Amino acid sequence: MKINIKNYKQIVVLTGAGISAASGIRTYRGENGVWQEFDVGQHGRVDRLKDNPQQIWTLFGALRAQLKSAMPNQAHLALAALEQNLRPDQQFTLITQNVDGLHQRAGSVNVVELHGNIRYTKCANAACDLAPFTDENTYADAVPRCSKCGDVLRPDIVLFGEMIPALPGWQAKRALRECDLFMAIGTSGSVAPASNFVRSAEYAGARTIYINLDPMEPRNPAFKEEYLGKAEELLPAML
Ligand code: APR
């Protein structure tokens, strides 16, 4: 089924870990998901920064390691091409829960990173003025310390129990308000607030489409269309 992008003015796409599966990045849930090895909700909780910061680095250092050899796949590229081929009167916002940066590497421009980016490390102390910096270290053996205040360093991503940063939260809401086409791709739809975006899109009167390998469990009735399969195969055909 081909989506006629020409018919829409405000296109919003929400992506999750499944879109990066073909790039060799493990999803959180589902078959071979990280969750089968770790309780991500506990190992990746903000409280671990205080009582066991090594757990945070064990979990997300592994993601950095996967990224060293990862390349954008056909699904990332199809979304980048969609954005590049729009008319000037069409708006496109790509909201991603992924922290892997693969959309930008594929050429997507208007990307809202809801959960941050794993390429950056920052100080866990919110009052410290150390600026987040790009970092490829995985810190598998020892937790790094801040050169300014001595607190632990952490990946610059949203951990369980943390709020979405104000700017991406606002950018996502703004795009959803007038959206007429909403597509969620490669996400289990189980983590708020992104799991609720389809409701906002529905209120705005958008066409709502779910594209994923597995059906959403439980099903969200705000999605009016569902296409099951691999994003890297479906998207190049649909867009
Ligand atoms: N194409 C499309 N979908 C796929 C593919 C693929 N090739 N491979 C797997 N999937 C689907 C799975 O069926 C699963 O439903 O991708 C979905 C990934 O779901 P999650 O692992 O839950 O990822 P996501 O929805 O992004 O998780 C949201 O949870 O742990 C937190 O902060 C983390 O951002 C993450 C958030």
Question: Model pTM?
Answer: 0.97
Q: Hey, do 1-25+72-115+164-239 and 31-69+118-157 end up sharing a CATH topology, with the first three levels equal?
A: no
- Residue 30 alpha carbon to ligand 1 centre in Å: 7
36 pLDDT above the threshold of 90: no
Domain assignments of the chain as residue spans, ordered by start: 1-25+72-115+164-239, 31-69+118-157
| Ligand 1 atom closest to the CA of 44, numbered from 1 | 30
Q: How far lies 175's CA from each of 88, 180, 201, in Å? A: 16, 10, 9
Name the residue at shortest CA distance from atom 8 of ligand 1. 18
Which of 32-41, 54-63, 197-206 shows the lowest per-residue confidence on average (mean pLDDT)? Answer: 32-41
Architecture (CATH level 2) of domain 31-69+118-157: 2-Layer Sandwich (3.30)
Read off the pLDDT of residues 54-80 as tens digits, 9 standing for 90 and up.
Answer: 999 999 999 999 999 999 999 999 999
Which of 27-41, 72-86, 209-223 shows the lowest per-residue confidence on average (mean pLDDT)? Answer: 27-41
Among 74, 188, 217, the mutation site with the greatest number of ligand 1 atoms within 8 A of its Cβ is 188
Give φ, ψ of 159 to 5 degrees.
-90, 165
187 CB near ligand 1 (under 6 Å): yes
Read off the pLDDT of residues 145-182 as tens digits, 9 standing for 90 and up.
Answer: 999 999 999 999 999 999 999 999 999 999 999 999 99
pLDDT at 38: 82
Say if domain 1-25+72-115+164-239 classifies as CATH 3.90.1570.10.
no
191 CB near ligand 1 (under 6 Å): yes
110 CB near ligand 1 (under 6 Å): no
pLDDT at 20: 98
3-state SS class at 48: helix
Nearest Cα to 153, choosing from 119, 124, 115, 132?
A: 124
- Residue 238 alpha carbon to ligand 1 centre in Å: 20
| 8 Å CB contact between 110 and 31 | no
Q: How many CB atoms lie within 10 A of CB 113?
A: 23
101 CB near ligand 1 (under 6 Å): no
**What are residue 41's DSSP bridge partners?**
none
Instruction: Name the amino acid, one letter, at 227.
Output: Y
Output Rg (C-alpha) for the chain, integer angstroms.
18
Distance CA 78, CA 124 (A): 36
Name the residue at shortest CA distance from atom 35 of ligand 1. 97
pLDDT at 62: 93
31 pLDDT above the threshold of 90: no
115 classed as catalytic: yes
Distance CA 145, CA 156 (A): 14
30 pLDDT above the threshold of 90: no
Higher model confidence: residue 188 or residue 32?
Answer: 188
